[in-house]
Structure 1
């Protein structure tokens, strides 16, 4: 099977990392992957190449698709001749869908009667309001909703909440299926030495409780909520320490540094920026925190759970379903509730917190392994391709 993935960009974020892991997991099954990034070269491109997939960089500028770039995308889809085109995220869905249908029309004009590749859209967000997103992104989501009944053959959602939200927003319910994100259990795993190493490397006291948060710097992640919760925790547990990692979470981010200073919590935190191997950080935490105001199925929460770290998170998207009874969830945009939940988790007996971490790991093993995720994607591709061929045969025989 030949699969071409069309994705908005390739930072090491949630949906993009899922794509990378699916490629790694499926490389022994004879599947050939090509990834087309609409944006310029980014962090994950080299790692995807290392995993054995071809990567093509279209290099569009944000908000400016341009006819020449679109024509290049059409030409690439034509020459790659895939069995399946899997698009990722709203811009990838719109551009990939329109380009595939244009490539198919171009083939017909040349006299080709080859069957069109199956087109599968990928939704990895829950809030159709696209909180904190640009006007262009909001327009793209509306366009995708209008086109969803005619352009894609199937639509994969990362969770039940994402599917419900998009159906309410006008997406075609009949084409939707849910495939939860999967996690690499051999990469994200308990590391007994990580706890002491993290405290030593960051200059924390060996017994200091440490809370971590990982993600890109974006309004939807609601870092002001996390920082306000930090203040509440430190008022009760002054020895607690905090780690913030991810793209834009570094000392060059003046806005973030100012927020920490104004809250009076800068002394208790470390800004680590983007990490190539976040698993070593996650495994050294006492508690992982998610403060977002919107998510799909948050990859980093599952990664922390796989490292046997209990989580405190806002109840957005499918986060509560992912965590189950292995952690605590609070309402979004409520720093008091988030702070109280962190305090509750940090002050519970160590044995009980360890039990929650063990249950978290077991839940990921049972429900959210990357092998299970890939198996369901492969089944969707086969089912969608067969349905498309049967439909074409019926039209030809009519």
Structure 2
């Protein structure tokens, strides 16, 4: 099966990571992938090429595209002769969807009997409002108005995403949920990781390492996390808070000032963006997610795969992901978040290890990338059979 993926860019994010993992997972089955980035952002490009994908860049400028760019994209689809065109996020869905319709027209004009399925991908929970971005809001609105005609199917990464988009006007008969999958071969428990991080931070062995991973963005609600951390320190003084993500470093004066105001100087360790999360995450005693909104957060699934118990806010499908292996609290409530972190922090190391083992087992059995890819491929095959194509 040959799949053309159309995505807004190849930066580092949850959707981009999922795309890479799907390409990696499908290598042994003989499936082929072409990845087309609408923008020039190419952080993930070499990793995708190394995984066997053909990567192209359309280099669109922000805003509405030049119609000739969409014609070029359609020609790339025609040249690839795909079985499936899989689009990612609103930009990819709409621009890729229009280009796919043009490609079908080009095939008919040429007299070529090439049939392919068009599948959209939605990777956020809340529909963007004009306040979030007028253009993004417009794309979501176009998606709602055309979802009953343009795509053959629409994949949502979470049940919460499905519900909000159906309520907004997306056609429920074409939508289905396929939860993100996690690389359980890369993200594994590592008994030596904790001691290594304690040594790197020059902390005593009795320290309890509470990690949080996410870019500096209001959606991640770092203020909620810091307020909870300040409350927790009053109860469990050995806690240290390891903060990882883009712009979460000493140069972020807003975060540093807030940590200082809350009396957290010396116990918040801002490590910035890291490309070795699979080595860093197993060092945490607890992973915290303090977000206001999520779909199915990648960092939680990866931490669970590393055997780390999680304390999370009840956003998107995060609670469903964690199940009974961690603790779930309402968003924007630092008191309840602090209480849950305290409950987890006061468990013995062995008790947390048992929870972590259950967390990994849950990911392996229900949320691994192999399970995810199998669901994608089965859906593709079903759509193609409906078109009279067998693969």
Specify the alignment match of 1:24 in structure 2: 24
- Give the distance between the partners of 1:265 and 1:135, measured in 2 at CA: 38
Specify the alignment match of 1:3 in structure 2: 3
Specify the alignment match of 2:311 in structure 1: 312
Matched residue of 1:180: which SS?
A: coil
Matched residue of 1:294: which SS?
A: coil
- Conserved 8 A contact 2:189-2:306: yes
- Conserved 8 A contact 1:132-1:219: no
Comparing 378-387 and 250-259, the one that deviates more? 250-259
Q: CA deviation at 1:324?
A: 0.4
Specify the alignment match of 1:237 in structure 2: 236
Q: Taking structure 1 as reference, are residues 380 and 173 closer, same or farther at Cα in structure 2, changes over 3 Å only?
A: same
Q: Taking structure 1 as reference, are residues 118 and 188 closer, same or farther at Cα in structure 2, changes over 3 Å only?
A: same
Specify the alignment match of 2:82 in structure 1: 82
- Give the distance between the partners of 1:280 and 1:32, measured in 2 at CA: 30
List gaps (5 residues or longer) in structure 1: 391-398
List gaps (5 residues or longer) in structure 2: none
Specify the alignment match of 1:395 in structure 2: none
- Give the distance between the partners of 2:259 and 2:145, measured in 1 at CA: 42
Equivalent positions of 1:164-175 (< 5 A) are: 164-175=163-174
What is the TM-score normalised by the length of structure 1?
0.93
Matched residue of 1:168: which SS?
A: helix
What is the TM-score normalised by the length of structure 2?
0.95
- Give the distance between the partners of 2:62 and 2:121, measured in 1 at CA: 20
Matched residue of 2:383: which SS?
A: helix
- Conserved 8 A contact 2:128-2:136: no
Matched length = 389
Specify the alignment match of 1:393 in structure 2: none
- Give the distance between the partners of 1:257 and 1:139, measured in 2 at CA: 36
- Give the distance between the partners of 1:204 and 1:69, measured in 2 at CA: 54
Q: CA deviation at 1:250?
A: 2.3
Matched residue of 2:324: which SS?
A: coil
Specify the alignment match of 1:396 in structure 2: none
- Give the distance between the partners of 1:138 and 1:294, measured in 2 at CA: 17
Q: CA deviation at 1:311?
A: 0.2
Matched residue of 2:110: which SS?
A: coil
Specify the alignment match of 2:97 in structure 1: 97
Query: What is the CA deviation profile of residues 127-171 of structure 1, one whole-angstrom value per residue up to 9, with x for unaligned ones?
Result: 124697322222211211111111110111122222122111111
- Give the distance between the partners of 1:200 and 1:59, measured in 2 at CA: 44
Specify the alignment match of 1:65 in structure 2: 65
- Conserved 8 A contact 1:13-1:216: no
Q: CA deviation at 1:197?
A: 0.5
